[in-house]
Amino acid sequence: MKTLIIGGVAGGASCAARLRRLDERGEIIILERGEFISFANCGLPYYIGGNIRGKANLTLQTPQSFKARFNIDVRIFSEAISIDSARKVVTVKNVITGETYEESYDNLVLSPGAFPITPNIEGADSEKVFTLRNIPDTMKIKGYIERENPKSAVVVGGGYIGVEMAENLKKAGLEVTIVELSDHLIAPLDFDMATEVHRYVKAQGIRLILKNGVTAIKESDRNLQIHLNNGCIEADMVIMSVGVRPDTALLKDSGVALDGRGSIIVNSNMQTNIENIYAVGDAVSVKNFVTNAPAFIPLAGPANKQGRIVADNICGIPSEFEGTQGSSVLKLFDMTVATTGLNEKSAKDAGFDFDKTYTYSASHASYYPDATMMSVKVLWDKATHKILGAQIVGFDGVDKRMDVIATAIRLGAKVTDLASLELCYAPPFSSAKDPVNMVGFVAENVITGKLKQFFWHDVENLPRDSSVTLLDTRTAIEVARGKIDGFMHIPLDSLRERIAEIPKGKPVYVHCHSGLRSYIACRILTGYGFDCYNLAGGYRFYESVINEKSVPEYICTEC
């Protein structure tokens, strides 16, 4: 049996290695049009910033190591230019010599990946404008910085790669600006959770220009002039990071079915519409695990799993890909941002009637040194109580909490199941009530009616008259630092003795710093017969979101 794999890196290389482990005698060929296979794609920004040292550290396998360990024929600088599925042959071009030849196959695996989108604007082809996809792109950026010593850079696009590049360019000594067309960074986050990221990014000395897009890039005698929808800024270099598209031009006349985006359509066995042709990685349309709808979610983890699944099916082992929930994590200086499943927008688009909760928990026991706080947002379906998605922004311990919630989603858990999870505890690592447990406790209180919530976006519409009572249960020192207009102040520890100050027969809307003390206040008030609502996330979260929403639109006039 002869298997031909077009493209290496995550999907193709993992498929080839698994094939060899299952079949010692089969012929396996990988065609890679570039110089490198199985490289650390996700590590490329960190080489530019200096965290990863040495180009060799980016290369996980070489053609020689693949041959020695797996007896796989890896042909670099070999570009597949056409596929004849009737004859089961691929036409291959040597990109150095220009010569072509035909290679036959019994099974064909497509792993062409995705390429960075370059906007169709003036100046996008400048030698000072870069994209990041592979090692040559990385070396080009690194070389430009070392050779030209630029002082400033603009990153166009505030997704994962854009934010990682901004961090690493800053670490390389440049003044960095991120320009993002949306109103917030990192699309899988909701705006409210992204506001904490915005504050932190700006505190690290990175300028943010949101709700603004690039219309042209022009070269002056000194630098680049980046013209925006609103304004103009100057920089010495530009990184384009506005997203990726499936690299499937090869398949134009192949008969392989593509969707409107150009992604390869596959079934759960990762098989295309043509027998014996499979596809994996960033070029395929996958099933969203939560919604069951087709989705484009280019991530390394699913690509590796897909490669393994294809190898199994080629070797007669039934294996299915159950979908992608988009679990991802981002390091941003010392901050960690993690997401899984749906955010509010995607949950609404999918038609879910959902509820949500915000918690603010310490990474480990607060009495043990160096505990840091994390903001956790979780969505769940009101009918089934199944977890739909989660977002966490914090520092220490964010990744492991998100891994637990991502696992719970994969196993079909209800949000209330999080309360009963028995997670590892010792003061340096967690609390007896882990942040994941806390989500379950809060959600359980909401679902059983012990806790009624209102949210940051409800505050401005609350009546400021005698029809309701608005109550702030923080300390006097906290109130002096900032308050919400219209809220009377009674500290939690004085509430019982001052209960007579609260009018009977009216709803009471309560807040504290994080939502915990106000929840206790609500339980006290409920015991006295009041109808009480708690501000989810507390004042700290409300203040973060409202302040970010009130930031005036950035009008740049540097050029």
Q: What is the pLDDT of residues 335-359, one digit of tens each?
A: 999 999 999 999 999 999 999 999 9
Q: How confident is the model at residue 291 (pLDDT cuts 50, 70, 90)?
A: very high
3-class SS letters over 237-289? EEEECCCEEECCHHHCCCCCCECCCCCEECCCCCECCCCCEEECHHHEEEEEC
Per-residue model confidence as pLDDT tens digits over 492-549: 999 999 999 999 999 999 999 999 999 999 999 999 999 999 999 999 999 999 998 8
Q: Looking at residues 393-402, what average pLDDT do you find?
A: 97
Active site residue 42: yes
Tell me the percentage of the chain whose pLDDT exceeds 90.
84
Q: What is the pLDDT of residue 39?
A: 66
Residue 516 makes CB contacts below 8 A (sequence gap 6+) with 360, 538
For residue 215, what pLDDT is reported? 95
Give residue 60's pLDDT band: very low, low, confident or very high (50, 70, 90).
Answer: low
Query: What pLDDT is attached to residue 492?
Result: 97
Confidence of residue 66 (pLDDT cuts 50, 70, 90): confident
| Residues paired with 394 in a beta bridge | 336
pLDDT over 80 at 55, yes or no: no
* Catalytic residue, candidates 42, 232, 315, 559: 42
Distance, in Å, from the CA atom of 397 to the CA atom of 108, rounded to the nearest integer, reads 42
The pLDDT, as a whole number, for residue 59 is 67
Q: Which of 355, 347, 349, 341 is nearest to 409 (CA)?
A: 341
Least confident range from 56-70, 94-108, 210-224, 310-324: namely 56-70
User: Which of these ranges, 125-139, 173-187, 199-213, has the smallest mean pLDDT?
Assistant: 125-139
Q: Is 411 exposed, middle or buried (0-12, 13-18, 19+ CB in 10 A)?
A: exposed
Q: What is the pLDDT of residue 138?
A: 86
The mean pLDDT value of the chain amounts to 93
Residue 193 has pLDDT above 90, yes or no: yes
Mean pLDDT for the stretch of residues 230-247: 93
pLDDT computed for residue 56 by the predictor: 64
Structure tokens at 497: 């003795």
Average pLDDT over residues 42-46: 79
Average pLDDT over residues 383-400: 97
Least confident of 135-144, 192-201, 526-535: 135-144
Q: Is residue 133 scored above 70 in pLDDT? A: yes
Q: What is the pLDDT of residues 241-258, one digit of tens each?
A: 999 999 999 998 899 999
